[in-house]
Chain A
Amino acid sequence: MNRPKGHCDDSCFQMGLLLLMTFYSFFCAAGTVKVDQNGKVKTIHEALVMTSPGDTVMVFGGNYSEGTILIDKPLTLIGIDRPIIDGHDRESDIIIIASDSVTIDGFTIQNAGTSYIKDLAGIRVRRKNSFVIRNNHLINTMFGIYLEKANDGKIVDNQVIGQAIEEVSSGNGIHAWYCKNLFISGNTIESHRDGIYFEFVESSQLKDNISRNNLRYGLHFMFSNNDEYTNNLFEKNGAGVAVMFSKNINMYHNTFTNNWGSASYGLLLKEIYDASIERNIFDGNTMGIKVDGSTRVTYHNNSFENNGWAIKFVGGSYDNKINNNNFISNSFDLVLESARNNNTIDGNYWSSYTGYDLDKNGIGDIPFRPVKLFSYIVSRTPESMVLLRSLFIDIIDFSEKVRPMFTPENVMDHAPLMNKVVY
């Protein structure tokens, strides 16, 4: 008999709470404080003192330099006509979010300074959740957006432009450490150490971002599992994306282009398990993918064009599936050293395949060996790369193709396609 009553009590209480909240949002949360350099409230600090949780602070255009701004209650900060918050290289963070449910929208945040001891940031979120950072410009802030143990946040449509010259004195565009459920989309990140850095970040999504001209990596995963990045563009970075010591990362529809240099990669994989790499474009990189240990990774429907190496495996890699990819005009299509492996590389299109298709089923009648003798020689004596494209090399490659002696015999595509894979 007690139970239904208790239930009624509960629901009554909930109703009351709901009513209270509705009233609250009507009369209090709608409270808006306007900050204008020509108005009554002239600084953001003043405004922050006046607000109560849930309020909106509207900041009108102008230059605000008031040291570190600490936001310690749930607020929405909206910049109108893009107000500038300037740190004047004072070597301190510019905005610190120290409360749940904070939104920052429409600001220019600039000049945090450079420190070799502290990690300075444009916007720092410390152990708080459900933040939204939208439509801001972060310029020359050592670290753009720095998340420490912050979950359920959205970082959308920001421009994060750094001035990184060397790795030691620069920070990352978006830096996330011990986070969960992040949604990062539509950002442009340039000239940092790493464009986006994930360390111990779980179940997060990266979409439609552009990361270019970063010194080290466009996007960097360390010990981060169950994440997904789609439709991003990585251009002219030291290496496009580095995925290290991570599991279950999905990489779809990304473009990796023009990552040129003596140690540059489109995508660098180090100790990766159960990832899938699908429908990406690798164009004009020194190495399309460098793989240092990958297990149970699927490489499907990717396009490798004009790379020095399309895929280079070093170290042990097992149970990978490389199917339905296009390999077009790469200097080396595939380097895979270990003779014992159970990787499958069937059903790809290779522009250097010279076989025939008599039964016209679209599949070449003789298998293709993508590993050339010269690539084997080069991986042992790198200096011999000097002989690239010389007639002698073409001759030994041909004789090796006819009768393999040095290259692993069982690395071959049993069903090479005659036409490009269209997807």
Chain B
Amino acid sequence: MLKILKYSFFDLIRSKWSYVYFFFYLVISSSLLYLSGDVSKVIISLMNIILILVPLIASIFGVMYYYNSREFTELLLAQPIKRTNIFLGQYIGLAVSLSSSLLFGLGIPFLVFGIFRSAEIWNFIILIVTGVFLTFIFSAISFLVALKNENRLKGFGIVIFLWMFMAIIYDGLFLLSLIVFKEYPLETISLTLSMLNPIDLSRILILLKLDISALMGYTGAVFRKFFGTNTGSLLSTLILIMWTVLPVWAIVRVSNRKNF
């Protein structure tokens, strides 16, 4: 598995899209830091970008990579290698190369700016960690979708829809349900609903760390009480891990049964 992981990782790292992705983050974060100079504000702006772009790029890249390397995969399948190893190796190679673009693209400007001497270091780490988690989650989902659909167009369509659902439609339905049921106590429901979507969960984790919580009034107090405790952060980490592990497990299952 390591060999395949290494192969896909270096294959992707050499592709120009990885560089584009890396330079995009490099330029964005360094120009934001240069223009504003306030680390906490830059983290908020980057959060907006990361929460939208990371899932989108991971999804599209995942699907694209799977379909492009299909012939190579078939070649590998003819060899005496376990199927699990092939697909997991490819998936992890993809996710690691995307995350390293993110990590270095954001990390280098912040390092130059002196993040280690700043009080915002933990907020920055949370931003990076949620970004990496989102990469792993959405590339796993897209890999799974591609694995299940031979038709490329259909695969792309489903992945784009899933991204739109998680990033936009989910929040719309969320808001609608809050407005419709506003006569009832909604704290627990909104807590649960926001934990179920990895994008929302990441957003709230970052916002709460940056102390916007105070303006949420009573709801914010409920949220801060939950996410501020060890159980809360443990639970949210667990949910992010579950969001990663479940699609990966499905990849293993589907790939073992699939006819090529």
Binding stretch for chain A, among B81-89, B207-215, B252-260: B207-215
Give bound CA distance, A385 to B187, whole Å. 11
Answer whether residue B60 sits at the interface, using C-beta atoms and an 8 A cutoff: no
Q: Which residues of B contact A264 (CB under 8 A)?
A: 214
- Can you name the residue of chain B whose Cβ is closest to the Cβ of A308? B215
The contact of A383 among B41, B168, B190, B204, by CB within 8 Å, is B190
Question: A2 contacts the other chain (Cβ, under 8 Å)?
Answer: no
Chain A residues with Cβ under 8 A from B212's Cβ? Answer: 308, 331, 388
- The reply to whether A308 and B214 contact each other, CB–CB distance below 8 Å, is yes
A residues less than 8 Å from B178 (CB atoms)? 381, 383-384
Question: Are A385 and B219 in touch, CB under 8 angstroms?
Answer: yes
Is A255 at the interface (CB under 8 A from chain B)? Answer: no
Binary B-proximity of A360-402 (CB < 8 A = 1, otherwise 0): 0000000000000000010011111111111111010000000
The listed residue with most A CB atoms (<10 A of its CB), out of B41, B172, B221, is B172
CB of B50 to closest CB in A, whole Å: 12
Nearest-Cβ distance from residue B192 to partner chain A, whole angstroms: 11
Tell me whether A262 and B186 are in contact (CB under 8 A): no
Distance (Å) between the CB of B220 and the closest chain A CB?
6
Max count, chain A CB within 10 A of own CB: residue among B44, B47, B203? B203
| Binary B-proximity of A325-345 (CB < 8 A = 1, otherwise 0) | 000010100000000000000
Chain B residues near A329: list those with CB within 8 A. Answer: 41
Task: Assess A382 versus B171: contact at CB under 8 Å? Given A260-B211, A329-B41, A388-B212.
Answer: no
Residues of B138-171 whose CB lies within 8 A of A: 167-169, 171
Determine if A386 and B182 form an interchain contact, defined as CB atoms under 8 angstroms apart: no
Asked whether any CB of chain B lies closer than 8 Å to the CB of A286, the reply is yes
Interface size class of A (residues with CB under 8 A): 20 to 34
A282 at the interface (CB under 8 A from B): no
B80 on interface, CB distance cutoff 8 Å: no
Question: B20 interface residue, CB < 8 Å from A?
Answer: no
- Interface magnitude class on chain B: 35 or more
Partner among A381, A384, A389, A393 whose Cβ is within 8 Å of the Cβ of B47: A389
B174, CB-defined interface residue at 8 Å: yes
User: Are B172 and A383 closer than 8 Å at their CB atoms?
Assistant: no
Find A386's partner among B41, B52, B167, B216 (CB 8 Å cutoff). B216
A234 an interface residue at 8 Å Cβ cutoff?
A: no
A168 at interface by CB-CB < 8 Å: no
Task: Decide if A392 touches B171 in the complex (CB within 8 Å).
Answer: yes
B187: contacting residue among A308, A380, A383, CB under 8 A: A383
Smallest CB separation, A236 vs chain B (Å): 12
Q: Is the CB of A263 within 8 A of B200?
A: no
- Interface pairs (21), CB distance under 8 Å: A262-B217, A263-B217, A286-B214, A287-B215, A308-B215, A331-B215, A382-B216, A383-B178, A383-B182, A385-B215, A385-B216, A385-B217, A386-B204, A386-B219, A387-B171, A389-B203, A390-B200, A391-B167, A392-B175, A393-B171, A395-B168
Complex A-B, nearest 6 residue pairs according to Cβ-Cβ distance, in ascending order: A308-B215, A392-B171, A385-B216, A381-B182, A383-B186, A260-B214
Other contacts beyond A260-B214, A262-B214: 5, CB < 8 A: A260-B211, A263-B217, A385-B217, A388-B215, A389-B48
